[in-house]
Amino acid sequence: MNVIKTAIDGVVIIEPRLFKDDRGYFFESFSERDFNAQVRTVRFVQDNESKSSYGVLRGLHFQKPPFAQSKLVRVVKGAVLDVAVDIRKGSPTFGQHVAVELTEENHRQFFIPRGFAHGFSVLTDEVIFQYKCDNFYAPQSEGAIAWDDPALGIDWKIPAEKVILSEKDKHHPLLKDADWLFSYGEELYPKIRKQSQWQSQLQ
């Protein structure tokens, strides 16, 4: 796989190695070994899938510690604009974002570390969106900021009048008004416990 760095440290785009022939194609969508070696050590524990239509915008969401989440996202049908926003107070890139188009044709994946808010807009008639999380969903720890915060300057690539939001996503605060944010430098990745002896013997 090819790991592409972005303007914000830790936020990366991943391009898989595609094998094509007359039958179609094959690629590894995830390798724990390669991901941990080339991106960072993460233990994903939950896979999710959503289906959305043109104009749907989901975001900007995050989970607070101890349930903070990293996400590895991709599209298997259609196209989205996927966005990660740095919401770590004190970060040199606080309030900045990275946006990348993920499509069924480019097979790109986008890694959003803990400490960031995440959202996406749907650019095609239909999208099937898949993502891996390294912490379980915890509704009591949900956080969010407004998708249209002018201070963020995000171009979602769809007209504002076409945006379709959940009722909840219509009422999130601006970044400057958020009642809770991450702090730059705080440890968001507790060390993953080593394998037990019997697990090691099985390998």
Average pLDDT, rounded, for the chain: 94
Report the CATH number at residue 122.
Answer: 2.60.120.10
Which residue range(s) make up the domain with 162? 44-182
Q: 136 in a domain, yes or no? A: yes
Q: What is the pLDDT of residues 148-171, one digit of tens each?
A: 999 999 999 999 999 999 999 999
Report which of residues 203 and 89 the model is more confident about.
89
pLDDT at 134 (0 to 100): 97
Q: Concatenated DSSP letters for 87-119?
A: -EET-TTTT-EEEEEEETTT--EEEE-TTEEEE
**How many domains, the chain?**
1
Alpha helices in the chain (DSSP H): 32-38, 197-202
Length of the chain measured in residues: 203
Q: 3 in a domain, yes or no? A: no
Say how far apart CA 134 and CA 47 lie, in whole Å. 9
Q: Concatenated DSSP letters for 127-174?
A: EEEEEEESS---GGGEEE--TT-TTT----SS-GGG-B--TGGGSPPP
Q: 24 in a domain, yes or no? A: no
**Alpha-carbon distances of 109 from 13, 19, 126, 156, rounded to whole Å:** 6, 17, 18, 18
Largest pairwise CA distance in the chain: 59
Q: Are 78 and 104 in contact (CB under 8 A)?
A: yes
Cα torsion 81, 94, 167, 69: sign: positive
Q: Taking the chain, what is the end-to-end CA distance rounded to the nearest angstrom? A: 24
Is the confidence at residue 78, as pLDDT, over 50? yes
pLDDT at 196 (0 to 100): 39
Q: Are 80 and 106 in contact (CB under 8 A)?
A: no
Q: 152 in a domain, yes or no? A: yes
Q: 37 in a domain, yes or no? A: no
The set of catalytic residues is 61, 131
Q: Are 109 and 72 in contact (CB under 8 A)?
A: yes
To the nearest whole percent, how much of the chain has pLDDT over 70?
94
Q: 163 in a domain, yes or no? A: yes
pLDDT at 126 (0 to 100): 98
Residue 29: count other Cβ atoms within 10 Å of its Cβ: 14
Is the confidence at residue 193, as pLDDT, over 70? no
Q: 6 in a domain, yes or no? A: no
Mean pLDDT of 133-138: 97
State the residue for tokens 């960072």.
40
Q: 91 in a domain, yes or no? A: yes
Q: What is the pLDDT of residues 5-19, one digit of tens each?
A: 999 999 999 999 999
Say how far apart CA 78 and CA 39 lie, in whole Å. 26
pLDDT at 132 (0 to 100): 98
